[in-house]
Amino acid sequence: MAQFQFFDDMTSPSQGPQHIAKLRTEMARRGFDGFIVPRADEHQGEYVPKSAERMAWLTGFTGSAGTAVILQNEAALVVDGRYTVQAAEQVDTSVITPVQLTASTPEDWIAERLPAGGVLAYDPWLHTGDGLKRLERAVSRAGGKLAPVDINLVDVIWIDRPAPPQAPVRPHPLDYAGEAAPAKLERIRKKMAEAKLDALVISDPHNLAWAFNLRGGDVGHTPLPLGYAILPKEGRASLFFDPAKVTNEAGAAVGDLADFAPISTFQGALDALGQTGGKIRIDSATGAVALIRRIEATGGTVDVGADPIALMKAVKNEAEIAGSHAAHLRDGVAVARFLAWLDREAPSGKLTEIDAVEALEAFRIETGALRNVSFPSISGAGPNAALPHYRVTSSSNRALELNQIFLIDSGAQYEDGTTDITRTIIVGEPTAEMKDRFTRVLKGHIAIAQAVFPKGTTGAQIDSFARKPLWEAGLDFDHGTGHGIGSYLSVHEGPQRIAKTGHTPLEVGMMLSNEPGYYKPGAYGIRIENLILVEPRTIPGADREMMGFETLTFTPIDLRLVEPAIMTADEIAWLNAYHAAVREKIGPQLDAETRAWLENATQAIG
């Protein structure tokens, strides 16, 4: 079994009814008619520690997003399109009903189902201010009441709940960070001054890690130290962690900037902050209702808005960019070795989805620099490839069969950079339809890669570039075209993204993914993903400041799935130039056999 991947479900549907029955007993004991269980921790993170996997323990559902609403006589699990199939497979549908987000939001379901006069309980540490307002409106529509709890009801009944994580907090070297923490804090405080803030509560561990050049290991796939920080407009900051996690190296690195304090003292510090009567910024994206109420209760003025660190973190400096270049070349060699191996072994029919994941991880481990995979690899054969966020388990594991598509979406965490790459491969011979769809996805990918746009352009304005070749054939895909990327942090980083909802203007130094796709349910799926960097572009005669994208990922795109007849000469030139760059950059680092495979896999077409 590979080092970082886990293929078995955390719990089974058979446990769900027992756990939900226990929850209902606890609800009745406290006089509650319902309880809402979001798939979130106190920081609204994508990846949560085992101690916060309440959704998985209660229902059996292990996806990274969803909301369960448990009433005394019925229950729902609301998920988006990524998890429709997974939710139905993992939960006991006789007890909890999977609901597609497009059919009903959690709030709509509550408004329709909560009994008149009913009391819906919630944990104020797991909901943001905006989220609570939506809940309040829903409960009001139902004629019910909303009640906060002092302790999460799932925690009360989860007898063998894992202890909170205690991974060491360590400094992130300046060679990789590129900017010392004092300089970062000075920039943050300038933004605070512009907003007339007296203090900033940092509730997002990604922002805390970036601002103080710290890393940890409290959650899977992202090197996060879970904790909080309070940054006053002047003076020393306070960092709140479990004391057992704080290493001497971290203490020395933070130095005169901040004091480490036990996490048990955090709520008291919020009380003291409120008593100053100052204006306190709480992050609208990750700040829990509990933070807002604690400060307001002692006289503070809460300003709910964007944490200014998020946008600063999104714009990479020279050292972070250089680290990403190095990480992507290293990763490109590992993925090319994997693809060559796959071409040799897959036609035998003996490989499975799990075999492929473990092999790719082994090639990454052989780099000697892998710290973790950046997310659970999506390894889909045949119809499983049609599920954009499919996660293979021992029960769903399929063989890679001849004349079927295999899709693998994976990434790595290296100390100098975070990677994310998707390649779609044909095992055997593709159909004409497969080649048409693949080539349309490729045309959209190239359109993004070649895009040139003025300063101030948002990802929403660029998103349709990737869709046009599909739209022309009456096709589309139901996910965003690209997400932001962290620097040895989250593989999914905001606020930048290329999507219909991507309204943050792109800036030079931002990293994103470029990953259009196409999915034929029950048959196959296609996605082509490289990472890209926003860079300045000089256009002769231009009267605007212009930008474009540099491609960071270098690994072959499967030419057997390309139909040159529907590509323009410019698109063919881009693909040939890209493959020439792949040969130049990673070819010299491959053994003779793999290099020969690479030469064939990247030959010029047209």
By C-alpha distance, which of 511, 516, 512 is closest to 527?
A: 516
The pLDDT, as a whole number, for residue 452 is: 98
Assign 7 a pLDDT band (cuts: 50, 70, 90).
low
Assign 235 a pLDDT band (cuts: 50, 70, 90).
very high
Q: For the segment 445-467, what is each residue's pLDDT rounded down to a tens digit?
A: 999 999 999 999 999 999 999 99
Amino acid letter for position 501 = T
Q: Would you say the CATH fold of 315-594 matches that of 13-157?
A: no
DSSP letters for 214-228 = EE--SSSSS-----E
Q: What angle do CA 8, 64, 391 make, to 5 degrees?
A: 40
Reply yes or no on whether the pLDDT at 2 is more than 90: no
Q: For the segment 369-384, what is each residue's pLDDT rounded down to a tens digit?
A: 999 999 999 999 999 9
Q: Summarize the confidence of residues 394-406 as an average pLDDT.
A: 94
Q: For the segment 269-282, what is each residue's pLDDT rounded down to a tens digit?
A: 999 999 999 999 99
Q: For the segment 475-512, what is each residue's pLDDT rounded down to a tens digit?
A: 999 899 999 999 999 999 999 999 999 999 999 999 99
Using omega within 30 degrees of 0 as the cis cutoff, is the peptide bond preceding 495 cis? yes
Q: What is the SS3 assignment for 339-391? A: HHHHHHHHHHCCCEHHHHHHHHHHHHHCCCCEEEECCCCEEEEHHHHHCCCCC
Number of CB atoms found within 10 A of residue 394's CB: 10
Number of CB atoms found within 10 A of residue 28's CB: 11
How far is the C-alpha of 40 from the C-alpha of 48, rounded, in Å? 7
Query: 20, exposed or middle or buried, with CB in 10 Å at 0-12, 13-18, 19+?
Result: buried
The pLDDT, as a whole number, for residue 13 is: 52
Q: For the segment 56-74, what is each residue's pLDDT rounded down to a tens digit?
A: 999 999 888 999 999 999 9
Q: For the segment 540-586, what is each residue's pLDDT rounded down to a tens digit?
A: 999 999 999 999 999 999 999 999 999 999 999 999 999 999 999 99
277: left (phi over 0), alpha (psi -120 to 50) or beta: left
pTM: 0.95
The pLDDT, as a whole number, for residue 88 is: 87
The pLDDT, as a whole number, for residue 513 is: 98
The pLDDT, as a whole number, for residue 1 is: 39
Q: For the segment 504-537, what is each residue's pLDDT rounded down to a tens digit?
A: 999 999 999 999 999 999 999 999 999 999 999 9
Q: For the segment 176-223, what is each residue's pLDDT rounded down to a tens digit?
A: 999 999 999 999 999 999 999 999 999 999 999 999 999 999 999 999
In CATH, 170-309 is 3.40.50.920: no
Assign 10 a pLDDT band (cuts: 50, 70, 90).
very low
Q: Summarize the confidence of residues 227-240 as an average pLDDT.
A: 97
CATH: 3.40.350.10, 3.10.20.30, 3.50.50.60, 1.10.10.10. Which one for 13-157?
3.40.350.10
Amino acid letter for position 543 = D
Q: What is the SS3 assignment for 149-200? A: CCCCHHHHHCCCCCCCCCCCEEECCHHHHCCCHHHHHHHHHHHHHHCCCCEE
Q: The domain 315-594 belongs to what CATH superfamily? A: Creatinase/methionine aminopeptidase superfamily (3.90.230.10)
Reply yes or no on whether the pLDDT at 11 is more than 50: no
- Give the start-to-end residue ranges of the domains of the chain: 13-157, 170-309, 315-594
Percentage of the chain exceeding pLDDT 70? 98
Reply yes or no on whether the pLDDT at 6 is more than 60: no
Q: For the segment 405-457, what is each residue's pLDDT rounded down to a tens digit?
A: 999 999 999 999 999 999 999 999 999 999 999 999 999 999 999 999 999 99
DSSP letters for 437-489 = HHHHHHHHHHHHHT-EEETT-BHHHHHHHHHHHHHTTT---SS-SEEE--SSS
- Spell out a b/e string for 452-461, using b for 16 or more CB atoms within 10 Å of the CB, else e: ebeeebbbbb
Instruction: Please compute, for residue 351, the number of CA atoms within 13 A of its CA located in the half-sphere on the CB side.
Output: 26
Percentage of the chain exceeding pLDDT 90? 91
Q: For the segment 97-132, what is each residue's pLDDT rounded down to a tens digit?
A: 999 888 899 999 999 999 999 999 999 999 999 999
Q: For the segment 318-342, what is each residue's pLDDT rounded down to a tens digit?
A: 999 999 999 999 999 999 999 999 9
| pLDDT, averaged across the chain | 95
